[in-house]
Each structure stands twice: as C-alpha cells, then as structure tokens.
Amino acid sequence: MNTSTPSRTLSPDEVDAFGRELDALRHAVIADLGQRDVDHIRGVIRAVRYTEVAGRALLHFGVGPVSFALGAASLATSKILENMEVGHNVMHGQYDWTRDPALDARTYEWDTACTGDDWRHSHNYEHHTFTNVLGRDRDVGYGFLRVNAAQPWRPSHLAQPLTATLLALGFQWGVGTHDLRLSETLAGQQSVGELGRRARPFLRKAAWQIAKDYVIFPALALWGAPRVALGNLVANVARNLWTFAIIFCGHFPDGVRVYTAEETRDERRGDWYLRQLNGSANLEGGYLFHVMSGHLSHQIEHHLFPDLPAARYPELAPRVRALCEKYGQAYNTGGFRAQFGSVLATLARNALPRASDLRPSAA
C-alpha cells in the first residue's frame, strides 16, 4: 500500500493547478470518445446476455452438481457484469454521449433490488458530490457501520462484524433500501409517511426481482424448480459478496480520509478533486478483474471522473498517479487481499470505542 507518506497540504495556487491538470486529462478523453468505447460496452452487454442464458439453461436443463455449479457461476457472472460494468457505469451517464437509448443514464434499470431512480439520487448525486463528508455522504458506513474513528461510537457498533457479514450476504437489499432512509426514520428524522412514499417504487421493484428469480424461472423448470431457485439464490448471493467486497475496498481501507462539512464549505474544483482522491482507494489486478469490478478497482479515477467511460480508467491511472507524485499526494492502491484485509481490520477496530468515545462529553 502506498499510504506511508500522507498527502501534503497544498497552497491555493497548487490546488488550482492540480485541478487544471486533471481537467485537461478529462478533456483529452472526452475529445477521444468514439467507436471503441461503444464496442467495449456492447461487448460487455453481449457477455451479460449470453452468460445469463447459459447459466439459466444449465440450471434448468442440466443434471448433477457440476452443471449446477457452472450454471450458478455463469448466472452470477452475468449479474456481476450487468450491475458493475454496465448498470453502474451507464447510470453515471458515461455513455450518454452515444445517445443510444439502450445506454441512456436516465432510463437504465438494472438487475438488482435497488431502483435506478433511487440509485441515481443516492449514489450519483449524494455520494459522488459529498464523497466522504461526514453527515452528507450517507455511504460512509451506510448509517449503521462505523468505518472511521471520526464517526461517533454507539453500542450497536459492537455487533458490526455480524451486521457487516449480513450486509455482505444481502448486499443488494442494503443498497436497495439505502435511499429509503430507514435509520433516519428510526431516529425520528424522517416521518413514517415519507418512508412509505420512498418505499413504494422499491417495493414494486423488489417484488419483481423476487418473482423473477424465485417464482417465474423456477416455475418454468417444473419439477426442477428447487434446483433453479437454489441456483438463482447462489448467483444472487455470490454477486452480493463480490460487490460488497469491491465497494468496501473503494472507500474503507486504511489511509482513506473523511471530511467534515466545515472543511468542505468553500471548496474549489481542485479541492473537490483532492477530496475524491484522498477519499478513495484502488485495487490492482488484470483486465478481467477490472471489468468484473466495473472498473471500481480504479475507484480513484472513477471518483475524479465519474462520467467518463470506466474502461478508460486503466489508461488514465498512470497519468493520475504521476500527478499525485508531482503534487505530493498519496495514491492509495494495493492488491485485493491487502486492501480487503485492511477493510476487515477497519470494521473490527471501529466496532470498539476509543477511550475518548466513552467520556460523557463526547456523547
């Protein structure tokens, strides 16, 4: 990990210069967008569709455990690619310049419990605008996990090794209910009526998702229904675990900074870039790993340039890293095992209060 040297504090002029250099990187990519970007995403969409059909066919018509495992793996691959490389990236507007309705950010709907509209609000707007700002970015611990010592400790955090595990297993439901603001409702900050209003589209989508994987497709398999339902469950859970791991590695490893609203009050563009950079962490890996992570393995580049096609991040990364060296900024990156290990350590460490958290004045 490259977190040994913390980021240097830049002068206002340096901040502006840093911002201009990143803007220049961004404009160079925008000027170069074209056929190869479209070919890439359509290739991934093709892979999504074919792995889905292959997976469902193996589950429906296969016999024995080998075809079951292959089928569930193929279906999980389809769901992962669809959620990560297609859904997440298309909904960021990364392909809006194509004006292809199949790649339209405003109408895309993905194969997960979270509705596209909720996601566009909670993720594209809140999380990407107020990244790692305590109290503004609800992705910092999702309202119930303590992922940074700057968050106040509550007794419920003692259970977070367990709650985090449950979240990982059912991650799509965590994401799906995120924008309903359940914890705010429990804390009395949101009325039950407002919760109901927010929940309606989610419930409709959730019903369809459950019906699709656990009623309709199993019913089509007649006596093979239990096998198909189980295969779909395995695929969904595998997708949940993978997305949980990748997403937690993006913001919660050691060395990632959080900010207070006060610090970000009069942010310039360069400051916003610095916050995105210091609030994110990368994962190293090969081409397939990057695509399967929806290029969130390049979380830093994604947060700097959320609406550039993600497949461009690997070519941007060396240039971003060179800028970080020039401006004395830490570039938090590491292998999956190291970064995820760091995430687990963070979760475990923050489950316990520091001595200062227990003093009455802190509460």
Closest listed residue to residue 160, CA positions, set 28, 32, 352, 7? 352
For residues 249-268, which are near another protein according to CB under 8 A?
none
Q: Which is nearer to another protein, 236 or 333 (CB)?
A: 236
Smallest gap from Cβ 38 to another protein, in A, equals 4
Number of residues near another protein (by CB under 8 A): 27
Residue 98 in the binding site for another protein (CB under 8 A):
yes
Of 33-41, 58-66, 254-262, 293-301, which part binds another protein (CB under 8 A)?
A: 33-41
Told to check if 315 binds another protein by CB under 8 A, we report no
Q: Under a CB-based contact definition with an 8 Å cutoff, are residues 253 and 334 in contact?
A: yes
Interface with another protein, residue 83, by CB under 8 A: no
Query: Tokens representing 8?
Result: 């240097």
Long-range contacts of 283-287 (CB under 8 A, 24+ apart): 283/246, 283/249, 283/333, 283/334, 283/335, 283/336, 283/339, 284/333, 284/334, 284/335, 284/336, 285/335, 285/336
- Taking CB under 8 A as the rule, does residue 37 contact another protein? yes
Q: For residue 97, state whether it binds another protein (rule: CB under 8 A).
A: yes
* Shortest distance in whole angstroms from residue 278 CB to another protein: 24
* Residue 33 interacts with another protein (CB under 8 A): yes or no: yes
Nearer to another protein, 121 or 198 (CB): 121
105 and 120 Cβ atoms separated by less than 8 Å? yes
Pick the closer one to another protein by CB: 113 or 167: 113
Kindly state whether residue 99 participates in binding another protein, applying the rule CB under 8 A: yes
Cβ nearer to another protein, comparing 205 with 251: 205
Contact between 57 and another protein (CB under 8 A)? no
CB of 274 to another protein, least distance (A): 20
The interface with another protein within residues 157-216 (CB under 8 A) comprises 204-205, 208, 212
Query: Which residue stretch of 28-36, 161-169, 221-229, 295-303 sits at the interface with another protein (rule: CB under 8 A)?
Result: 28-36
Nearest Cα to Cα of residue 128 among 329, 174, 248, 120 = 120
Which residue(s) pair with 335 in the sheet? 284
Q: From the CB of residue 64, how many other CB atoms can be counted at a distance below 10 Å?
A: 7
Q: How far apart are CA 177 and CA 310, in angstroms?
A: 26
Binding of residue 231 to another protein (CB under 8 A): no
Give dist(CA 268, CA 340) in Å, integer: 32
Rounded alpha-carbon distances, angstroms, from residue 195 to 103, 139, 202, 206, 305: 31, 19, 11, 16, 32
Q: Rounded distance, CA 121 to CA 220, Å?
A: 36
Report which secondary-structure segment, H or E, holds 283: strand 282-284
Nearer to another protein, 25 or 324 (CB): 25
Q: Given the rule CB under 8 A, which residues bind another protein?
A: 33-39, 45, 49, 93, 96-102, 104, 106-107, 109, 111, 125, 204-205, 208, 212
